[in-house]
Chain A
């Protein structure tokens, strides 16, 4: 069969499901905030454009949420199906945030349901806006809780193993481990950033197609500004993540940076390829940069990969994921800055086709950065599933059918992915903004 080794099969199936889920989860975390901002501005300035924006975003959002829920349920069960040994251990120590996450889902689902079906039921529009608050909080909290679990896998704390027996369990310490705060904040900030840039892409797309609507211009302006703020936050928090790694998980940073020998004044290696003797070729070397990234000090000593036994070294290809993430992060800050400065001084060329085309690319690129970041974080934990305690080989199921399940789920996600795109494009083609705006101007208000 396809994957004779259940361990490899389980890893690939986990990767597949999570990489698909994270697309919808990111949108799920970020878009409620964007809807909230638009609706708030709309109410405050009494501007129907923003209200319509909120409404149209919400309409599309429902479709992505549905897929997020389906894939989330899949990964939730797959954790137990594919990693039974790990979940048995994890259940004893880190079940708390997983359990709390369910309540976050409840609130998100309940208030989203109410919000969507009550657009015209309230006399006071602010009350309707209030319904979004629990949706946004619920989504952010579910990201928070699940990321603490992931942080725990990188930095297991809050328990001891004495003679093979689990003792002194402290669920709160497990949850708020050393990795938690850099991870959580970076994940949430990047979700906000990515959602904003995806919505900006959509606005840019319509402007590129020749739409002259002020509606799209307002949308673009709003999303680019919010995107820029969170892009800067993401980079800062990413820098903290790097510092966390340097101190507590040096093997991951060393593998990501192809940093083999422990040394001071370490340079940062950008891209390049490795030859058979671990020599880096065709790379861009930035002197001192790695020491700065790791410790804010150009002469700091950075631990190299050779300090670790071979079987505990993460795969070296995570270097590319790291570089892709950082490149995209920097590009998006640059793009956002140019846009904001450009509109301020009324530069003409930010309204030109080629610039809008760059904005159009920004959304998908941000999503690629999210995927790269997670692949870096997850492959970089290898061979551990629970760093220092349990390897993936020990944790995986022994079932012979993992390969077949991989094929089934791959087909499923393909169908779902195509379905989402088709449904969303049809939905908005049948209800173009022009039509909605016309009915607004007709005094209908709905």
Chain B
């Protein structure tokens, strides 16, 4: 019924998508690897001791694999991504896979509530602004959105910490940490980071969704529906939102990988949360290439997967798309 019955056209499309995805992964990982090798951090000089001799420097470079030919290293990198045997962190000596398996769930648990709520609030505000386009409510929402967009994420984090987590303010939540052992402690630790994410995401989302909805609301069929007496709620949800679903899906799906890595970086650093953002930040500052390459490579793969999933989601949302 949804047009997903396998036929030769579908197979060809799937094959083409797979080929495109493979080429995309190769391209993205190649560029990432190239940048990392030639412009990324070099851990040699962090790992050598004081008064190192040129011979000792050469030994460390050899152990880090820096003296191997570029394409040999790239091949090893691809093989490690393919087999998920991501090697050992040069800083801690732990298996990269172990580090990621430990930190990824923490990051997901940290950012998902803020991501969902930020987008939900953004959607609602965007709809309200679009419905009241040009009136005081629209102007109010736009002003608030621009305000939150203009304030640095760092300032929002520090301000929330002071207001909610210290005796200078309300001192209701922890300024730091992630001792999660159940739902109540989860809510306790996730509340302030979530609030920070909502404050930054909702503004951007509201502005974006408003623009999409305003465009959609100006179409002929909406005017007809309005003339037939459809309520504002029905108009905005059933007609406007549904017809804008592709743009909404695109924004949500493609921002997830970014939110997961870069969005949690500041939060995890400031709130002392051992998630993937903190791990990535530390890998950058320590020059831990195996860890960094794993994060970059897997993020690239995640983007490609999201892209493939987006194709499926588009077809679910709009069966006209083949």
Q: Do A and B come from one complex?
A: no
Q: Residues on B close to A: CB < 8 A?
A: none
